[in-house]
Amino acid sequence: MKLLLKKNLKMIENESSSFVKLFELEDGSRFYVEPPFYGQLEAIEEREPTWLDRLLDEMIRVVKKNRRVVFTINYHHPLTIKDDYIYLEMRDLLANLNMYFINSSNITEGNI
């Protein structure tokens, strides 16, 4: 989760899961980052490094607005189930920023 720590975010213990990371902002807002979502952040950092700061800033903006967020790869099947949290995918953040990204490492010849 080193990409998120660049923004001086406070990681706190997630008592329900050791692999889904929980962060807290100074205002008390909290958000979970599931590993597959983090993998998408890493793919974007690798292929579009100039986008990373904008995406992280958008994550923080959305968390401050909504107070409780789970960043997941699939909001229909999240790894983290929490009451009073909203579920967002990478495409939600990208859409907010008018960006479009295809993780081509997930595309195989049969999928094209």
How far is 7 from 57, CA to CA, in rounded Å? 9
Beta strand 68-71 pairing with 86-88: parallel
Domain with 102, as residue range(s), is 2-26+49-111
Q: How many domains does the chain have?
A: 1
Please check whether residue 22 lies inside any domain of the structure: yes
Please check whether residue 38 lies inside any domain of the structure: no
* Block residue for tokens 């329900």: 16
Please check whether residue 82 lies inside any domain of the structure: yes
Please check whether residue 41 lies inside any domain of the structure: no
Q: Write out the chain's pLDDT in tens, 112 residues.
A: 678 877 878 999 999 888 999 999 999 999 999 999 999 999 889 888 898 999 999 999 999 999 999 999 999 999 999 999 999 999 999 999 988 777 655 544 444 4
